[in-house]
Structure 1
Amino acid sequence: NLAIPWEDTKAFLSSFEQVAKACRWPKEEWVARLLPALSGEAEQAFRSLEAGDREDYGKVKVAILRADALKMEAQRQHFRQFCCQEVEDPRGIYAQLQELCSRWLKPERRSKEQILELLVLEQFLASLPQDLQVWIQAGGPDSCSQAPPRVPSGRWGGV
């Protein structure tokens, strides 16, 4: 079972960086060496950058991870906002919900613990004021433990 490189963006980029360091590639070459592997959303994220930023691996990585986080958020919203107007085929609706949930949580590549973390993170974020949610989401956490330990003082009252 051959894994698709961009199926787990963070893991793929981490592996790429380990190889780049092990091979002692100069950091200026990393983008050029990553380019042949770009596809789908990762390639679109790269193309959305200004020409000068396309040579900066750090900026390329941030753009790719941001695109990945936006895709996951869109999948979560599709699942959470699903609504059927007419119930003609309950099994079909159930199957559609299962598909939407699988696209979001990806149970074929995430452990039970990782899925639980995503659900807890979702509820954690939902319980916070909107501006604090946005601030934490900007960091792209995959779990509550990856959320910032402290918020900037004075912005969110008693939080």
Structure 2
Amino acid sequence: MAFDAGKFLKTPDLEGFDKLKKEELVLLAKHLKLDFRVSMRKQIIKNLVIDKLVDAEILGEEALDLKVENVDAFKIKQLELEHQLKLKELEMKETEKIKELEMKERLEMDKKEKEDEFKLKELEMKLKELEMKERLEMEKMKIEMAKEESNTKVQSKSEYFDAAKNIRLVPRFCEKTVDKYFPQFEKIAHNLNWPKPYWTTMLQSVFEGKAAEIYSALPSEKSSDYDMVKQEVLKAYELVPEAYRQKFRSYKKFDSQTYVEFAREKEDLFDKWLTSKKTDNNFDNLRQLMLLEEFKLCVHLDLKTHLDDKAVGTIHDAALVSTKVLDTQDNQARRTVDLTPFKESWIEINDKKTALKCKIKCLNRVYRSEA
């Protein structure tokens, strides 16, 4: 049965009013011409209707209790909703905080994973470097072992060298061309890989004349030294550096010679002198040779002989040796020397390479110093 607002107002019932539904309250509010909206809550519409009915004395003031009671319930409901909303907000904040923590942990884990991955790559690179170094060391050891093995083989070959079989390949010795013989022999020995300890054995089989005598006179320890044998043989034939120098300086042109022949012979003697002094086409060695020769020409014969015996190689060494000799001579020895054909002079030596600068008092021949 449809609700009739006019009929309800004629016989109002407080208990019945309290049980009215929202639709019925809306019809009642419209009938009373209240200012409301249908979208309002039921309790609000109900409160408006109660206020109107009490004012119109249709309902007694006891009806206000329904209003107050319902308003309190509404406020409680509102507070409950607000509380639930706050709880929801707190829950959401907590959830966000948890998510942030999880994100932070995830980022830290990612960072740690990347760091661990980087460290792992570094370790791998270091391991590769160590492996490379070990491989290089192994290769180096293999090369060294191969060299040692090769040297051992060469030594073994040297130990089992058949001298008798190779003697027939030794060039014939000629006393007239001794200076040319040794370079020829050394060239053949190197080309055929003859062990150097056997060179003197090969030579003694072809030596003759002075060379054979010199070799026989040498002690056993010297006769097995090729360089010593070569030096003694050349000395016996006056083919030492000093002999070459004197030949070069004293060689004069014969009437029967052409100037071309003379120049060629002079050049050959000069080359032999340089070769015997082992200048090796080195400018500084040649410079020292010229300076040393000039130095010896400027000093007393006894001092020159002493320098020859000492086999000084540079003008610096000659200056030091000469200074030492003159410093150690006693006064009596100086007085016994006949100084008539000589006069005193000072030689200044300024060797840029050795930074040596000194003066040596020496005796020069009068005719040479005055020339």
Aligned to 1:138: 309
1:75-154 residue pairs with structure 2 within 5 A? 75-86=244-255, 89-106=258-275, 109-147=280-318, 149=321, 150-151=324-325, 153-154=328-329
By how many angstroms is 1:95 displaced? 1.5
Does 2:220 align with 1:55? Answer: yes
Whole-angstrom CA distance in 1 between matches of 2:312 and 2:216 = 26
C-alpha root-mean-square deviation of aligned residues, in Å?
4.0
CA contact (8 A) 1:46 1:63 kept: no
CA contact (8 A) 1:45 1:63 kept: no
By how many angstroms is 1:141 displaced? 2.2
By how many angstroms is 1:136 displaced? 1.1
CA contact (8 A) 2:214 2:232 kept: no
Percent of pairs identical after alignment?
Answer: 16
CA contact (8 A) 1:75 1:103 kept: yes
Whole-angstrom CA distance in 1 between matches of 2:199 and 2:248 = 32
- How many residues align structurally? 127
Uncovered stretches (5+) of structure 1, i.e. residues with no partner: 1-5, 8-31
By how many angstroms is 1:122 displaced? 0.8
By how many angstroms is 1:97 displaced? 1.1
Against the structure 1 CA distance between its residues 48 and 92, is the aligned structure 2 distance closer, same or farther, given a 3 Å change threshold?
Answer: closer
Larger radius of gyration: 2
Which structure has more relative contact order (CA 8 Å, sep 6+)? It is 1
Whole-angstrom CA distance in 2 between matches of 1:145 and 1:68 = 27
CA contact (8 A) 2:279 2:286 kept: no
By how many angstroms is 1:35 displaced? 3.5
- Summarize deviations over 1:84-109 as a string: whole Å, max 9, x none: 14276222211221111111113883
CA contact (8 A) 1:82 1:97 kept: yes
Read off the aligned partner of 1:102 and give its amino acid letter.
Answer: D
Aligned partner of residue 264 in structure 2, secondary structure: helix
By how many angstroms is 1:50 displaced? 7.5
Tell me which moved more, 91-100 or 131-140. Answer: 91-100
Against the structure 1 CA distance between its residues 118 and 46, is the aligned structure 2 distance closer, same or farther, given a 3 Å change threshold?
Answer: farther
Whole-angstrom CA distance in 2 between matches of 1:139 and 1:81 = 24
Against the structure 1 CA distance between its residues 85 and 48, is the aligned structure 2 distance closer, same or farther, given a 3 Å change threshold?
Answer: closer
Whole-angstrom CA distance in 2 between matches of 1:46 and 1:124 = 37
Aligned partner of residue 280 in structure 2, secondary structure: coil
Read off the aligned partner of 1:111 and give its amino acid letter.
Answer: N
Aligned partner of residue 151 in structure 1, secondary structure: helix
Aligned partner of residue 109 in structure 1, secondary structure: coil
TM-score by length of 2: 0.28
Question: Which one has the bigger strand percentage?
Answer: 2
TM-score by length of 1: 0.57
Against the structure 1 CA distance between its residues 98 and 34, is the aligned structure 2 distance closer, same or farther, given a 3 Å change threshold?
Answer: closer
Aligned partner of residue 141 in structure 1, secondary structure: coil
Whole-angstrom CA distance in 2 between matches of 1:64 and 1:154 = 36
Against the structure 1 CA distance between its residues 121 and 77, is the aligned structure 2 distance closer, same or farther, given a 3 Å change threshold?
Answer: same
